[in-house]
């Protein structure tokens, strides 16, 4: 164990003992020291910037998991006994080249067709067969006859059941494609006859596991060039590079047996060891991300400690530390892909991202997403905040973890002290955090949530 890691582990033990003592005392007191210690540990050099999918991200997740346990939360990870919820992340995915030719008709890559997230690298030439919507035993024969898929490239219409939930829509498409491949299809050409925007579910998913054959999608109008073609030979070639990792969200909750649940979230990952976006030094440097977003994670943990002592709560409460936000909101997207995460079950999502610089750009807290629910504006005006001003912003731009919730019509409210010159630079360290300002914010949010 190196010296820095020893210090980190030693400090972690002190924090756990302090929190455990506070819990055994049966009371809750908001203190600057706990916020400081959480930020200090998460933004320590030993965690190398908490890049999603790296070992140091797992160390940070283990620390957060332990704090949730000590706070008295129930685990809501992949099992009833774990706070950790691992997810698959394809990032980056680089499609270098692809070709598609049906008989003598060639299609233009990126203009008329594209390789999908289901596609592997490879080249195949074979007879093709149109299997309609790809329902095994209905649209094609599983064993014999002219419509068998074994040894052929299949053409499939991805239009299916009318679904508002795009995660369910994608699952339905994947099941049909997998069935064809398992029954011997050498490649798959997808298309849709409908004008519904179903094709966007096939691209950009960080969670989809690729199959062992090339899988491409042809846009609706270009598909007309082969719509009436019933036989011949097809060639598909795809070249793709995938980086696959398994980041982890950390999820705990308070079960009050209520009809609805509130999600209180913050991302805990950062950009890792990389080159600074500013300054002359372009060597690889640790980006500790004390404000982005150890500050939001610390505030989330402190709200969890408070909420376990709070009585008379109207909702259940989920406290979520999301990973891979910096890669493209993948952690919160993975969470929102769960079928029970919808506006029937979730009352609202409260997001904290970069809340440690109150006073850096004036004593103002920006609150975004005010337009997502009618109650927000009068509520914000009602809760007192004597030591800082609040700037209310109607919209909630899609650059933080509230966005996947908003896309599922779940009301969101997003708190931030805003961008500063140290954002995504090696200078975003613990000593620049305004912990007195964080105490003010957490106190305000306790009243807000209550």
Structural domain boundaries in the chain: 3-85+247-449, 90-244
Pair 161, 194: CB distance under 8 Å: no
Count of CB atoms within 10 A of residue 36's CB? 16
Pair 77, 234: CB distance under 8 Å: no
Q: Phi and psi of 341, rounded to 5°?
A: -85, 95
> In sequence order, which residues have a C-beta less than 8 Å from that of residue 269 and are 6 or more positions away?
50, 51, 52, 57, 60, 247, 293, 322, 323, 324, 325, 326, 327, 331
In CATH terms, are 3-85+247-449 and 90-244 the same topology?
no
Count of CB atoms within 10 A of residue 102's CB? 21
Among 239, 230, 216, smallest CA distance to 112 is for 216
Provide the pLDDT for residue 193: 79
Provide the pLDDT for residue 38: 98
Could you give the CA distance from residue 208 to residue 118 in angstroms, rounded to a whole number?
7
The CATH code that applies to domain 3-85+247-449 is: 3.40.630.10
Which H or E run contains 56?
A: helix 55-71
Could you give the CA distance from residue 326 to residue 251 in angstroms, rounded to a whole number?
18
DSSP state of 298: H
Q: How far is Cα of residue 287 from the mean position of the Cα atoms in its chain?
A: 21
Provide the pLDDT for residue 439: 96
Among 23, 8, 1, smallest CA distance to 67 is for 23
Could you give the CA distance from residue 54 to residue 47 in angstroms, rounded to a whole number?
10
Which H or E run contains 439?
A: helix 435-449
Pair 123, 147: CB distance under 8 Å: no
Among 398, 99, 446, smallest CA distance to 240 is for 99
Q: What is the pLDDT along the chain (450 residues), one digit of tens a residue?
A: 444 444 455 455 544 444 444 444 458 899 999 999 999 999 999 999 999 999 999 999 999 999 999 999 999 998 889 999 999 998 888 999 999 999 999 999 999 999 998 999 999 999 999 999 999 889 998 776 777 899 999 999 998 776 667 778 888 899 999 999 999 999 999 999 776 656 666 776 778 888 999 999 999 999 999 999 989 999 999 999 989 999 999 999 999 999 999 999 999 999 999 998 777 778 999 999 999 999 999 999 999 999 999 988 999 999 999 999 999 999 999 999 998 999 999 999 999 999 999 987 678 999 999 999 999 999 998 998 878 999 999 999 899 999 999 999 999 999 999 999 999 999 999 999 999 999 999 999 999 999
The set of long-range contacts for 382-386, using a CB threshold of 8 Å and a minimum separation of 24, is: 383/444, 383/447, 383/448, 384/447, 385/440, 385/444
Provide the pLDDT for residue 377: 94
Provide the pLDDT for residue 17: 44
Provide the pLDDT for residue 92: 86
Provide the pLDDT for residue 141: 86
From residue 281, alpha-carbon distances to 51, 141, 344 in Å are 21, 63, 50
DSSP state of 337: T
- For the record, the structure tokens of 50 come out as 């908490």
Among 174, 146, 179, 148, smallest CA distance to 160 is for 174
Longest CA–CA span in the chain (Å) reads 78
Q: Is the peptide bond before 92 cis (omega within 30 degrees of 0)?
A: yes
Q: What pTM, to 2 d.p., does this model score?
A: 0.86
> In sequence order, which residues have a C-beta less than 8 Å from that of residue 152 and are 6 or more positions away?
126, 127, 128, 129, 184, 185, 186
CATH of 90-244, one of 3.20.20.70, 3.30.1120.10, 3.40.50.20, 3.50.30.30: 3.50.30.30
Pair 86, 78: CB distance under 8 Å: yes
Pair 283, 369: CB distance under 8 Å: no
């Amino acid at each position: 164990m190196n010296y820095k890691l020893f210090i980190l582990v030693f400090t972690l033990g002190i924090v756990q003992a302090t929190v455990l003592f506070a819990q055994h005392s049966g009371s809750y007191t908001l203190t600057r020291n706990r916020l400081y210690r959480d930020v200090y540990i998460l933004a320590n050099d030993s965690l190398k910037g908490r890049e999603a999918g790296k070992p140091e991200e797992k160390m940070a997740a283990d620390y957060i998991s332990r704090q949730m346990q000590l706070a008295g939360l129930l685990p809501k990870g992949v099992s009833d006994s774990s706070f950790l919820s691992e997810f698959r992340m394809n990032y980056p995915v680089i499609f270098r080249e692809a070709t598609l030719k049906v008989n003598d008709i060639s299609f233009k890559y990126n203009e008329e067709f594209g390789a999908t997230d289901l596609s592997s690298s490879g080249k195949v030439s074979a007879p093709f067969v149109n299997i309609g919507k790809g329902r095994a035993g209905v649209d094609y024969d599983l064993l014999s006859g002219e419509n068998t898929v074994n040894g052929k490239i299949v053409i499939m219409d991805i239009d299916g059941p009318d679904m508002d939930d795009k995660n369910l829509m994608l699952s339905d498409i994947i099941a049909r494609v997998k069935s064809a491949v398992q029954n011997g299809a050498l490649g798959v050409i997808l298309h849709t006859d409908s004008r519904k925007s179903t094709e966007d579910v096939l691209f950009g998913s960080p969670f989809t596991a690729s199959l062992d054959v090339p899988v491409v999608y042809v846009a609706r109008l270009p598909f007309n060039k082969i719509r009436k073609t019933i036989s011949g030979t097809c060639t598909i070639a795809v070249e793709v590079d995938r980086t696959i990792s398994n980041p982890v969200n950390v999820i705990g909750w308070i079960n009050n047996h209520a009809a609805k649940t509130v999600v209180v979230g913050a991302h805990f990952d950062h950009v890792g060891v990389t080159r600074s976006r500013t300054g002359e030094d372009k060597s690889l440097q640790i980006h500790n991300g004390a404000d982005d977003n150890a500050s939001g994670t610390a505030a989330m943990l402190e709200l969890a400690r408070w909420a376990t002592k709070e009585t008379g709560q109207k909702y259940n409460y989920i406290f979520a530390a999301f990973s891979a936000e910096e890669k493209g909101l993948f952690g919160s997207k993975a969470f929102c892909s769960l079928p029970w995460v919808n506006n029937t079950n979730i009352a609202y999502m409260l997001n904290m991202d970069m809340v440690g610089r109150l006073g850096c750009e004036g004593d103002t807290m920006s609150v975004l997403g005010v337009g997502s629910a009618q109650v927000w504006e009068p509520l914000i005006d009602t809760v007192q905040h004597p030591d800082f001003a609040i700037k209310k912003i109607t919209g909630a731009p899609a650059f933080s973890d509230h966005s996947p919730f908003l896309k599922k019509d779940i009301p969101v409210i997003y708190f931030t002290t805003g961008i500063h010159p140290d954002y995504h630079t090696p200078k975003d360290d613990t000593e620049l955090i305004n912990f007195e300002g964080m105490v003010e914010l957490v106190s305000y949010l306790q009243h807000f949530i209550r």
